[in-house]
């Protein structure tokens, strides 16, 4: 039986720590603030934005929502981001992705001040992660690292396989494991012999976006399996990239979906917002 890594509990602990940090900052006259920008009416984006606002309220972070219609032009969106860059009571800016068709995400991300880029998507922050001298870590991979730490998983010297090479999850995930001296392999849709490569992993991270993609025969007995996926099964029910039922008996530790990586992402966003507030107050 694998140890179930409880993302809800770890996330609650991170948020409790964040709340204490906010209280300490407030005592010094610093009120962290996060602006969340949502364009259009994508229902999943709306749920994410509501959850982010709720977490801010719980922790004591000031939050502002900017909900723009899907007809918003690139110029209008960039203008808003520039105004938020200058806004003194806003330390973090998050533009909820994906943006509606016709808007250029890359340009929007590059317009966010790197010191307010709490998603850590700006090329300057991505570069900083690469050299290991960063202000912010992207929330989902950072959440995975926190889960591994909570479960006392040794990374140094161990074989780590990440399935997926997106800029948001796969690539930064691999980099964070490398920073901890894991021996890291990144797999993607063109990888040959995926099953064999995955079976070498002491730590296997799935960020593919295909329901139950990782099957028991892809997992080395005793491996730690982290499921980043947030997919829908044939009945429309939330599930992960890992066939949990059949993989769990093979693994030594595993994250469930829901209740694994998912709750960590927002907790890490709260930490990044606090970090942004500290950084901007140091710079003044």
Q: Which of 8, 12, 19, 61 is nearest to 36 (CA)?
A: 61
**CB count, 10 Å around CB of 271?**
22
Q: Does 185 participate in binding ligand NAP (rule CB under 6 A)?
A: no
Pick between residue 115 and residue 266 the one whose CB is nearest to ligand NAP. 266
Contact 212, 242 (CB under 8 A): yes
Q: Does 261 participate in binding ligand NAP (rule CB under 6 A)?
A: yes
Q: Does 14 participate in binding ligand NAP (rule CB under 6 A)?
A: no
Q: Does 137 participate in binding ligand NAP (rule CB under 6 A)?
A: no
Q: Does 126 participate in binding ligand NAP (rule CB under 6 A)?
A: no
Positions annotated as catalytic residues are: 52, 96, 119
Write each residue from 213 to 232 as x if it is in contact with ligand NAP (CB under 6 A), else as -, in one continuous string: ---------------xxxx-
Contacts of 230 (CB under 8 A, 6+ apart): 238, 240, 257, 262
Using CB under 6 A, pick the residue from 40, 138, 170, 256 that binds ligand NAP: 170
Q: Kindly compute the dihedral angle of the four CA atoms of residues 188, 114, 59, 151, in this order, to the nearest 10 degrees.
A: 40
Pick between residue 5 and residue 228 the one whose CB is nearest to ligand NAP. 228
The C-alpha atoms of residue 212 and residue 180 are separated, in whole angstroms, by: 28
At closest approach, how far in Å is the CB of 66 from ligand NAP? Answer: 22
44: helix, strand or coil: helix
Q: Does 172 participate in binding ligand NAP (rule CB under 6 A)?
A: no
What are 83's two structure tokens? 């105004």
Q: What is the DSSP letter of 218?
A: G
Classify residue 231 as exposed, middle or buried by CB count within 10 Å of its CB (0-12, 13-18, 19+).
middle
At closest approach, how far in Å is the CB of 187 from ligand NAP? Answer: 5
Q: Does 187 participate in binding ligand NAP (rule CB under 6 A)?
A: yes
Q: Does 166 participate in binding ligand NAP (rule CB under 6 A)?
A: yes
Cα-flanking dihedrals φ and ψ of residue 231, to 5°? -120, 175
Residues lying near ligand NAP in the complex (CB under 6 A): 140, 163-166, 168-170, 187-191, 194, 207-210, 228-231, 261-262, 265
């Amino acid at each position: 039986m694998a140890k179930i890594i409880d993302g809800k509990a770890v996330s609650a602990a991170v948020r409790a720590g964040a709340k204490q940090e906010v209280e300490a900052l407030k005592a010094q006259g610093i009120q962290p603030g996060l602006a969340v920008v949502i364009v259009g009416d994508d229902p999943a984006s709306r749920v994410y934005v509501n959850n982010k606002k709720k977490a801010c309220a719980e922790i004591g972070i000031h939050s502002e929502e900017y909900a723009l219609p899907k007809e918003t032009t690139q110029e209008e969106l960039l203008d808003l981001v520039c105004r938020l860059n200058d806004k003194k009571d806003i330390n973090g800016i998050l533009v909820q992705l994906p943006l509606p068709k016709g808007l250029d995400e890359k340009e929007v991300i590059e317009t966010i001040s790197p010191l307010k880029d709490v998603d850590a998507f700006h090329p300057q922050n991505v570069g900083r992660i690469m050299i290991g001298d960063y202000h912010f870590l992207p929330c989902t991979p950072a959440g995975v690292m926190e889960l591994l730490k909570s479960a006392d998983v040794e990374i140094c010297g161990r074989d780590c396989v990440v399935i997926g090479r997106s800029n948001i999850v796969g690539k930064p995930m691999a980099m964070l494991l490398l920073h901890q001296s894991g021996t890291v392999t990144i797999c993607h849709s063109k990888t040959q012999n995926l099953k064999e490569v995955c079976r070498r992993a002491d730590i296997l991270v799935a960020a593919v976006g295909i329901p139950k993609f990782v099957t028991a025969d892809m997992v080395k007995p005793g491996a730690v399996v982290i499921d980043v996926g947030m997919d829908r099964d044939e009945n429309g029910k939330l599930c992960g990239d890992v066939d949990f039922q059949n993989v769990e008996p093979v693994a030594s530790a595993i994250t469930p979906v829901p209740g694994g990586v998912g709750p960590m992402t927002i907790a890490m966003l709260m930490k990044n917002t606090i970090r942004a507030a500290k950084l901007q107050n140091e710079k003044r």
